Amino acid sequence: VSPHLTERRGRRTPVAGGMAAAGATARAAAAALVAVNGGTAGLFWYDKQQAQANRWRVSENALCATALVGGWPAGYLSMKTFKHKSVKKSFQVKYALATCASFLLLGALHPGARSAIQQYLGR
């Protein structure tokens, strides 16, 4: 019997605790992504305001770090919406690389992807 199934009257039924834990993890991950993307949009907006006022700016490395931790959807949307950092090619390249690194990191952390990579590499 699977650890996520229980025998009940001859039938296998899912254990509520396993499903509840998976649901709680999914909700926490979704909440984290909402928070990261909200923070990313706020950071891009703040940097745009600072640029217009000729004040101290948010570093490009900090903006790229938002892509690395999963805020890339809001980053790209913010660039388009606020018309900020959308022309500077050197930043566009750095942000795209950070976005790709985010996907690679996610792939490395996901058990299925990690297994596929290990099989591909022959380990």
Residue 98 and residue 61 in contact, taking contact as beta carbons nearer than 8 Å: no
Residue 68 and residue 106 in contact, taking contact as beta carbons nearer than 8 Å: no
Q: How far apart are CA 120 and CA 72, in angstroms?
A: 28
Q: How many CB atoms lie within 10 A of CB 109?
A: 9
Positions of E strands within the chain? 5-8, 11-14
Q: Return per-residue pLDDT of the chain as tens, 123 residues.
A: 455 555 555 555 555 556 666 778 888 888 999 999 999 999 999 999 999 999 999 999 999 999 999 999 999 999 999 999 988 999 999 999 999 999 888 888 877 777 777 788 876
SS3 label, residue 16: helix
